[in-house]
A and B are shown apart, each in its own frame.
Chain A
Amino acid sequence: MTATSTSTAAPPEPVIRAPRSGPAARWLAVLRSPVGAGAGLLLAAVLIMAVLAPILWTDDATKIDTNAIAQGSSSAHWVGTDALGRDLFFRVLVATRLSIELALLATVIAVVAGLILGTLPALVGRRLGRLVTALVNIAVAFPGLLLALFFAVVFGIGAKGAVLAIGFAGAPAFARLGQTLVAGVIERDYIAAARIAGVGRFRIMVRHVLPNIAEPLVVNATIGAGGALLGFAGLSFLGLGVQAPSYDWGRLLGEGLNGIYVHPAAALAPGVAVVIAGLAFNLFGEAVAKGLGQSVVVGHLPPLPRRRSARASGPARSAPSDSHSDTVLEVRDLTVTFPGPAGPVRPVRGVSLSIRRGEAIGVVGESGSGKSLTALALAQLIEEPGRVEAAQLDFLGADLTAGARAHRHLLGTSFAMVFQDPMTSFNPSRRIGGQLAELVREHGGLSRAEARGRAVDRLRAVRVPAPERRVRQYPHEFSGGMRQRAMIALGMMGTPALIVADEPTTALDVTVQRQVLRLLDSIRTADDVAILLISHDVAVVGQVCERVLVMYAGRIVEDLPSAELLTGALHPYTRALVAAVPDMRTDLRQPLAVIPGRPVSPAEQPRGCAFAPRCPLATDKCEQEDPALVAHGPGHFVACWHAHG
C-alpha cells in the first residue's frame, strides 16, 4: 500500500539482543544486578542465620535468668529479656529457623496444592475442570488472611494447623497462576505433537508442561514465601500459630507488644526481623522476575553545540526569510535531538521552510525520514527528553524558539493539528462535544452553551451529519472517517491560519481518504488556511498540494512544485519515490519497484549525503560531502551533487 517499500536486497540487519543463555546463566545475571545482588545477599544471610543460629545460640536463648526478668536493653542483653529473664536478642536470632522453616513448609503446601488445582482442569474432563476453575476463581477473590483464619479454625490452633492454614490459603493464588501458565504452554506445537503421538494427559503434564512453567513458578514461589512468612508471623502474633514453649518471630512480637511502653525493643526486634526476612524473599523474587526484561537506560543529553551549518540554511534557500506579511510560518535550521544510548540522536537536521497564507505544502518521505517529528517540532509539541532548536521559528509573527507557553492562546486557536489515527487521538472517556468545546472555553472564554453551539456548528461545517446528536457521543461511536472529520472540526474551533495534518488519511479507507482530503482542500480555499500535509504517499500529496518537500534522513532533499513531481524531479530519491508508486499502467507481472537498501538510522548519519549508500548515481564526493539545498530553477531546490535539470 505504500509507495516506498524498503529493502529486499539488503542483508538482514544484525539484531542486538541480550546474549542467549540458559536458566542458570540468567539467574546469575540477576545476581549481578544491584537490586538482585542486594536482595540475594540479604536472603543468603537470612538463610545462613536460619541454619546456624539454633546451633550456636540455643543455650543463650533458653537460659532462664531470674535476676534479669523483663529488662530493657543493656550491654549484657542488647534487646533486653523476657518475663523469664531469657535474652531476647538470641531468641530473635534462634527464632529465624522456625520462622523460615514454617514459612517454606507452608509455601511448599501452597505450591503443590495450587499446582494440583491448577493442572486439574487440563487433566480431568471438561465439566469437572470447569467446576474446579470456578471454585478457584471464587476462592481467589477472598484475601489470604481470611482464608488462613478459616483454615486455622479447621486445622486447629498450633504450628501444624497454622502451616496447613497458610499453605491452603495460598493455594488458590498458585492455582490461578498454574492455570494461566499451563494454558500458555498447552497450546504449543510440541504439546500437540505429543498428544497426536498418543502420550497420555498426565504424562504430557509431567514431562512437557511442568518443566516449561517451572521458572515462573519458582519465581512466584519465592515471592510467595515472603508472603507466607509475613502471614505466619500474623497468625503467631494472634496466638493462633506457634505455641509456647516454641517461639517464632510472630510469637515473640505478640509477647513483646504487651510491654511496648516498658521496653519497646522486645516488640521492635522481632518485627524488624520479620520485615527484613520478608523483604529478602520478596525483593529477590521481584528481581528475578524483572531480570528477564532489561530496561533501557536513557543517557543524559549533552548540550547541543550551536551549530550554524551553512549547508542547512543554504544561500539559495534563505531567500524567503525576508518575510512577507502573509507568511504564516517561517522556520530556519530546525533540529530535533533525542538522547540515545550512544550519544544524542538527531532525527531532524536543519529543516528550513516557509508557508504562506492559503498555501498547501506537502512533505513526503519514507517512515523514519523525520517528517512527523518535523511537524511536531513546528508545533512545539516535542516532549522531553527530545529537544527542538531553530535559528528562527516564527508563527504569525510570534517567536516560538523560546517555547510555546507564552503564545498558548495564539497557538491554540490558530495552529491546528490533525493526527494520523483518529481512533486514538480523541480521549475515549469524554464526549466529542466536550473535547471540541474545551478548546474555545480555554482560549476564547466562551460559556459552556456558546462553546457547545460552536462545536455543533463546526461539526456541521465538516459535514458530520446530525451534529446536535453527535456532540453527545463518545469517540468510539464514530466511524473512522467521521472521527477524522471531528478532528478537523477541532482544528477549526478557533480561527486556524495553519493546519498541520500528519498522515491524516493513512488510517482510513480509500473512499473516505478522498473525502477527507477534499474537505481539507475546501477549508483551505474557503478560509485561506495554510495546510502542511505530511504523508508517505506521493500520490496523495501530489493531488492536494502546490509544493512538495521531500525529506530524507532528517533533511529536505528536494523542494519542488507538485506539478513537476512526476516528470521534473531531480533528486534520485524523489525519482525513486515516484517510480515506486504503482498506477493503472503498472505491469503487475513484474515485481513492484522498490528503493534498494534501507533508510539510515538517525543514530548513524554518514558524513556525506545520507542517500548515497542507496543511490545509483553515488560517487566518492557524495560519500564525503553533504550537498546543500540549492536552486535548480524557479521554485525548485535540490540537495544533490548529481542533479542536473
Chain B
Amino acid sequence: MTSVSATPRAVTDWARGATGNAWVRFAVRRLERLIVSVWVLLTAAFAMIHLIPGDPVRAVLGPTASPQLVQAKRHDLGLDQPLYRQYGHYLHGVFTGNFGTSLGSGLPVSQVISQRLPATLLLAVLAFAVAVLLAIPVGVLMSVVTRAGRARRIELTFTSTSVILGAIPEFLLAVALVYIFGVNLGWLPVAGRSGPDSYVLPVLSLAIGPAAVLARIVRIEMLAVLQADFVRTARAKRLRSTAIYLKHALPNAVTATLTLGGLLLSAMVAGTVLVENVFAWPGLGSTIVQSILAKDYPLVQGIVFVYGIGVLAVNLVVDVALALLDPRSAIRES
C-alpha cells in the first residue's frame, strides 16, 4: 500500500524501498559537485599568481633588486618552468600538504596556516553557535507573539531592528562594540586573543548580524508553518502550546532556516577576515591581509585555498544535514 497519487515520483520510489538507491544517487551527485568545486578552487588559487599583471617576483623584491636576484627567486618559486609543470607541481604539493614557502618569513606556508587556523576556526564556530542559539528562540518567540497580525508594534520593532542589525557589516558593528564595551565601559578587552573574555567582542561582532537575519527567517518560516493543516490537527489534539510550537511547528521550519544558516555561516568564514583585523586577532584573517600588503603570494595562495575549503566544507555539512532532516528534498534534487 504505497502512495501513488499526488506525490512526486521520487517520493513514491522512496516509499517502495528504493531508499538505498536514492541515497547513493544523492551521495554521488554531491561528491561530484564537491570534487569539481575543489578543482575550480585549486585552479583559481594557482591561477591567481599568474593573473597578476607584471612579474610578481619583481613586485615583491622592488625595482632596485638585481636581475640575478629576481632570476634566482623565480627559480626558487619554480616560476621559470612551463605553466603545465608548475600546475602539476602545485597540485602535487597541495595533496602532500606542501603549499610552498612564505616569501616574508621563509617558513613553510602550511606551518603558518596550522598556527593561525585554530584561532579563526574557534572564532567562526563560536560565532555561529551564538547566532543560532540567539536566533531560534527569538524567532520562535516572535512568531508566537506576532502570529495572525497580533502585536503589530512589537512586530514592527523587531522587523526594523533586525533589518538594520542585519545590514550593518560586522566590522562596523565591531567598531561600535569596541567603543561601547571597551572604550566607554571598559568591561572587555578590545584586542588580541588571551582569556575567555577576549572572545566576547569578536564573537558578538560576527554573530549579531547573522543572528538578526536568521531570527527574521525563523519567524517568517514559523508563521508559514503555523498556518499549516497539521498544526490545526495538533491544536485539535489539545496539546500544550509549547508542544505545538516546539514539537510540531519548529522542526518543519528548520529546513529553510538551515539553508539560509549555511549561507550565513559561509559568509561568516569571510567575515572573520575583517573582524580579526579590528581586534588584532591572531588568526588567518589578519595574516592574509598582511601577506597581501607584503605581496607574499605563496602565503596568500595558501590561505585563500584554506578559506575556500572552509566554505565548501560548510556547504557540504549543510547539504548533508538538510538531507538527513528532510530526506524528500535531497532525493527530489537528485
Chains A and B are bound partners = yes
Interface residues of A (CB under 8 A from B): 134-135, 138, 141-146, 149-150, 152-154, 156-157, 226, 230, 233-234, 237-240, 253, 257, 260-261, 264, 267-268, 271, 274-275, 278-279, 282-283, 286, 298, 379, 381, 383-385, 404, 408-409, 411-412, 416-417, 419, 421, 423-430, 438-439, 442-443, 465, 476-480, 482, 487, 490, 509
**A478 CA to B15 CA, complexed, in Å:** 9
Q: Given the known A-B contacts A143-B266, A233-B169, A379-B236, are A425 and B229 also in contact in the complex, defined by CB atoms under 8 Å?
A: yes
In the complex, which residues of chain A have a beta carbon less than 8 angstroms from the beta carbon of B239? 412, 438, 442
Spot the interface stretch: B78-86, B89-97, B125-133, B306-314. B306-314
Identify the closest chain A residue to B150 (Cβ). Answer: A384
A-B contact pairs, 21 of them (CB 8 A): A141-B266, A143-B266, A143-B271, A143-B311, A153-B52, A153-B297, A153-B300, A238-B289, A240-B292, A260-B183, A271-B172, A275-B168, A275-B172, A278-B169, A383-B147, A428-B230, A429-B251, A430-B248, A430-B251, A443-B238, A480-B5
In the complex, which residues of chain B have a beta carbon less than 8 angstroms from the beta carbon of A416? 236
Task: Say yes or no for B223: interface residue by CB 8 A criterion.
Answer: no
**A614 CA to B15 CA, complexed, in Å:** 49
- Pairwise interchain contact A260-B308, C-beta atoms closer than 8 A: no
Identify the closest chain A residue to B251 (Cβ). Answer: A429
- Pairwise interchain contact B266-A424, C-beta atoms closer than 8 A: no
**A145 CA to B6 CA, complexed, in Å:** 44
- Pairwise interchain contact B168-A429, C-beta atoms closer than 8 A: no
Q: Given the known A-B contacts A141-B37, A240-B289, are A411 and B150 also in contact in the complex, defined by CB atoms under 8 Å?
A: no
Interface residues of B (CB under 8 A from A): 1-7, 11, 14-15, 36-37, 40, 44, 48, 51-53, 147-150, 163-164, 167-169, 171-172, 175-176, 178-179, 182-183, 190, 228-230, 232-240, 243, 247-248, 251-252, 266-267, 269-271, 273-274, 277-278, 288-289, 292-293, 297, 300, 304, 307-308, 311-312, 315, 325-326, 328
Tell me the minimal C-beta distance from A563 to chain B in angstroms.
Answer: 32
Tell me the minimal C-beta distance from A257 to chain B in angstroms.
Answer: 6
- Pairwise interchain contact B228-A424, C-beta atoms closer than 8 A: yes
Known contacts A238-B273, A417-B233; 12 additional CB pairs below 8 A are A144-B270, A145-B271, A153-B48, A153-B292, A234-B274, A253-B172, A286-B163, A409-B238, A416-B236, A427-B252, A438-B243, A477-B15
- Pairwise interchain contact B53-A156, C-beta atoms closer than 8 A: yes
Tell me the minimal C-beta distance from A314 to chain B in angstroms.
Answer: 31
In the complex, which residues of chain B have a beta carbon less than 8 angstroms from the beta carbon of A279? 164, 167
- Pairwise interchain contact B237-A412, C-beta atoms closer than 8 A: yes
- Pairwise interchain contact B171-A237, C-beta atoms closer than 8 A: yes
- Pairwise interchain contact B3-A260, C-beta atoms closer than 8 A: no
In the complex, which residues of chain B have a beta carbon less than 8 angstroms from the beta carbon of A509? 5
- Pairwise interchain contact B2-A143, C-beta atoms closer than 8 A: no
Q: Given the known A-B contacts A271-B172, A429-B251, are A146 and B149 also in contact in the complex, defined by CB atoms under 8 Å?
A: no
A144, A271, A286, A442 interface centre (most CB from chain B within 10 Å): A271
Which of these, B269, B289, B304, contacts A143 with CB under 8 Å? B269
Q: Which 3 A-B pairs have the closest CB atoms?
A: A412-B238, A143-B270, A145-B270
- Pairwise interchain contact A425-B308, C-beta atoms closer than 8 A: no
Identify the closest chain B residue to A429 (Cβ). Answer: B251
**A392 CA to B150 CA, complexed, in Å:** 28
Interface of A is mostly: helix
In the complex, which residues of chain B have a beta carbon less than 8 angstroms from the beta carbon of A383? 147-148
- Pairwise interchain contact A423-B6, C-beta atoms closer than 8 A: yes
Which of these, A142, A149, A237, contacts B292 with CB under 8 Å? A149
Tell me the minimal C-beta distance from B220 to chain A in angstroms.
Answer: 13
In the complex, which residues of chain A have a beta carbon less than 8 angstroms from the beta carbon of B190? 260
Tell me the minimal C-beta distance from B114 to chain A in angstroms.
Answer: 20
- Pairwise interchain contact B230-A142, C-beta atoms closer than 8 A: no
**A487 CA to B233 CA, complexed, in Å:** 9
In the complex, which residues of chain A have a beta carbon less than 8 angstroms from the beta carbon of B230? 424-428
Q: Given the known A-B contacts A138-B36, A141-B312, are A424 and B229 also in contact in the complex, defined by CB atoms under 8 Å?
A: yes
- Pairwise interchain contact A142-B311, C-beta atoms closer than 8 A: yes
In the complex, which residues of chain A have a beta carbon less than 8 angstroms from the beta carbon of B270? 143-146, 149
- Pairwise interchain contact A429-B326, C-beta atoms closer than 8 A: yes
- Pairwise interchain contact B274-A145, C-beta atoms closer than 8 A: yes
In the complex, which residues of chain A have a beta carbon less than 8 angstroms from the beta carbon of B233? 417, 419, 425-427, 487, 490
Q: Given the known A-B contacts A141-B311, A149-B288, A153-B300, are A480 and B3 also in contact in the complex, defined by CB atoms under 8 Å?
A: yes
**A465 CA to B1 CA, complexed, in Å:** 9
Which of these, A260, A423, A490, contacts B175 with CB under 8 Å? A260
- Pairwise interchain contact A476-B238, C-beta atoms closer than 8 A: no
**A257 CA to B172 CA, complexed, in Å:** 11
Tell me the minimal C-beta distance from A384 to chain B in angstroms.
Answer: 5
Identify the closest chain B residue to A434 (Cβ). Answer: B247
Identify the closest chain A residue to B267 (Cβ). Answer: A143
In the complex, which residues of chain B have a beta carbon less than 8 angstroms from the beta carbon of A135? 40
In the complex, which residues of chain B have a beta carbon less than 8 angstroms from the beta carbon of A138? 36-37, 40
In the complex, which residues of chain B have a beta carbon less than 8 angstroms from the beta carbon of A278? 167-169
Identify the closest chain A residue to B5 (Cβ). Answer: A480
B270, B304, B311 interface centre (most CB from chain A within 10 Å): B270
**A411 CA to B150 CA, complexed, in Å:** 26
- Pairwise interchain contact A419-B252, C-beta atoms closer than 8 A: no
**A412 CA to B53 CA, complexed, in Å:** 74
**A264 CA to B168 CA, complexed, in Å:** 19
Tell me the minimal C-beta distance from B149 to chain A in angstroms.
Answer: 5
In the complex, which residues of chain B have a beta carbon less than 8 angstroms from the beta carbon of A429? 251-252, 325-326
- Pairwise interchain contact A442-B243, C-beta atoms closer than 8 A: yes
Which of these, B5, B167, B183, contacts A264 with CB under 8 Å? B183
Tell me the minimal C-beta distance from B211 to chain A in angstroms.
Answer: 17
- Pairwise interchain contact A234-B171, C-beta atoms closer than 8 A: yes
In the complex, which residues of chain B have a beta carbon less than 8 angstroms from the beta carbon of A425? 229-230, 232-233
B7, B53, B149, B325 interface centre (most CB from chain A within 10 Å): B149
- Pairwise interchain contact A267-B179, C-beta atoms closer than 8 A: yes
Tell me the minimal C-beta distance from B166 to chain A in angstroms.
Answer: 9
Q: Given the known A-B contacts A143-B270, A154-B48, A384-B150, are A268 and B179 also in contact in the complex, defined by CB atoms under 8 Å?
A: yes
In the complex, which residues of chain B have a beta carbon less than 8 angstroms from the beta carbon of A298? 149
**A27 CA to B112 CA, complexed, in Å:** 53
- Pairwise interchain contact B238-A442, C-beta atoms closer than 8 A: yes
**A226 CA to B222 CA, complexed, in Å:** 29
Identify the closest chain A residue to B52 (Cβ). Answer: A154
In the complex, which residues of chain B have a beta carbon less than 8 angstroms from the beta carbon of A283? 163, 167
Which of these, B164, B277, B315, B326, contacts A237 with CB under 8 Å? B277
**A471 CA to B267 CA, complexed, in Å:** 42
**A278 CA to B295 CA, complexed, in Å:** 31
**A152 CA to B297 CA, complexed, in Å:** 12
Identify the closest chain A residue to B240 (Cβ). Answer: A442
**A150 CA to B235 CA, complexed, in Å:** 53
- Pairwise interchain contact A438-B237, C-beta atoms closer than 8 A: yes
- Pairwise interchain contact B293-A239, C-beta atoms closer than 8 A: yes
- Pairwise interchain contact A150-B3, C-beta atoms closer than 8 A: no
Q: Given the known A-B contacts A142-B311, A153-B292, A480-B6, are A238 and B274 also in contact in the complex, defined by CB atoms under 8 Å?
A: yes
- Pairwise interchain contact B274-A260, C-beta atoms closer than 8 A: no
- Pairwise interchain contact A253-B175, C-beta atoms closer than 8 A: yes
**A461 CA to B315 CA, complexed, in Å:** 47
**A498 CA to B33 CA, complexed, in Å:** 55
**A424 CA to B11 CA, complexed, in Å:** 15
**A239 CA to B6 CA, complexed, in Å:** 58
- Pairwise interchain contact A226-B52, C-beta atoms closer than 8 A: no
Tell me the minimal C-beta distance from A290 to chain B in angstroms.
Answer: 12
- Pairwise interchain contact B52-A490, C-beta atoms closer than 8 A: no
Tell me the minimal C-beta distance from B290 to chain A in angstroms.
Answer: 9
In the complex, which residues of chain A have a beta carbon less than 8 angstroms from the beta carbon of B37? 138, 141
In the complex, which residues of chain A have a beta carbon less than 8 angstroms from the beta carbon of B51? 154
- Pairwise interchain contact A257-B278, C-beta atoms closer than 8 A: yes
- Pairwise interchain contact A240-B274, C-beta atoms closer than 8 A: no
**A157 CA to B53 CA, complexed, in Å:** 12
**A643 CA to B248 CA, complexed, in Å:** 49
Q: Given the known A-B contacts A145-B271, A260-B183, A442-B239, are A385 and B148 also in contact in the complex, defined by CB atoms under 8 Å?
A: yes
**A404 CA to B228 CA, complexed, in Å:** 21
Tell me the minimal C-beta distance from B77 to chain A in angstroms.
Answer: 16
**A135 CA to B11 CA, complexed, in Å:** 30
**A384 CA to B230 CA, complexed, in Å:** 17
